[in-house]
């Protein structure tokens, strides 16, 4: 029976076993089988999202490199290998799009004018404010801070965070809300 004739469940189990062989033994044959199966599918999927060939290939190579070096992070109890790899590809695609937007904005922005440079008093106020915010952020519990970082610093939606972490959407939202309550209280304490 060829691997194409395997049931979905059998194929998922087979992929999980191959990923485990890569993680535990750096099994090159197992990796090659996974690469041969997933690389063309990832490439096709990225092309369908409008990526040029070189960018799609770069992301596919990146995803497969993650599989080779970080296969131990894959947990077959949480998702199929396919879901895990496509999630990595989607995240790399989002990162690529963000970098392109930042580059475009930077290219369109005029050079900073001397008049635009803030005075020394403003810089000191800004430094003090930033130090307070950093200290307040340091008081947020680690699990909540990770969700805040994903949402506000990396730009992930609550739904994307839930998918990546395996947490229910409501839990993600409530933990982020709690983090902001901690932040508000910490900032209030620091002002006094």
List domains and CATH numbers for the chain. Answer: 3-108 (1.10.1740.10), 115-191 (1.10.10.10)
**Residue 67 CB burial class (10 angstroms; 0-12, 13-18, ≥19):** buried
Mean pLDDT of 160-186: 84
Among residues 172, 157, 169, 149, which one has the least CA distance to residue 90? 157
| Helix (H) or strand (E) segment spanning residue 24 | helix 8-25
| Residue 176 binned pLDDT confidence (cut-offs 50, 70, 90) | confident
| Residue 192 binned pLDDT confidence (cut-offs 50, 70, 90) | low
Dist CA 141 CA 8 (whole Å):
40
**Which pTM value belongs to this model?**
0.53
pLDDT of 75 higher than 80: yes
């Amino acid at each position: 029976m060829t691997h194409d004739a395997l049931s979905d469940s059998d194929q998922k189990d087979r992929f999980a076993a191959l990923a485990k062989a890569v993680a535990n033994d750096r099994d090159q044959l197992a990796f090659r089988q996974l690469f041969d199966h997933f690389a063309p599918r990832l490439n096709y999927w990225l092309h369908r999202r409008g990526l040029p060939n070189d960018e799609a290939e770069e992301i596919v190579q990146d995803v497969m490199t993650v599989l080779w070096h970080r296969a131990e992070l894959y947990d077959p109890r949480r998702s199929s290998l396919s879901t895990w790899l496509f999630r990595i590809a989607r995240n790399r695609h989002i990162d690529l799009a963000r970098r392109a937007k930042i580059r475009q904005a930077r290219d369109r922005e005029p050079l900073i004018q001397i008049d635009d440079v803030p005075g020394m008093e403003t810089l000191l106020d800004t430094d003090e404010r930033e130090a307070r915010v950093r200290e307040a952020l340091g008081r947020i519990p680690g699990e909540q801070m990770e969700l805040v970082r994903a949402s506000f610093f990396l730009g992930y939606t609550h739904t994307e965070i839930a998918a990546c972490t395996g947490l229910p959407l409501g839990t993600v939202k409530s933990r982020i809300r709690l983090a902001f309550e901690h932040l508000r209280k910490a900032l209030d304490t620091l002002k006094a």
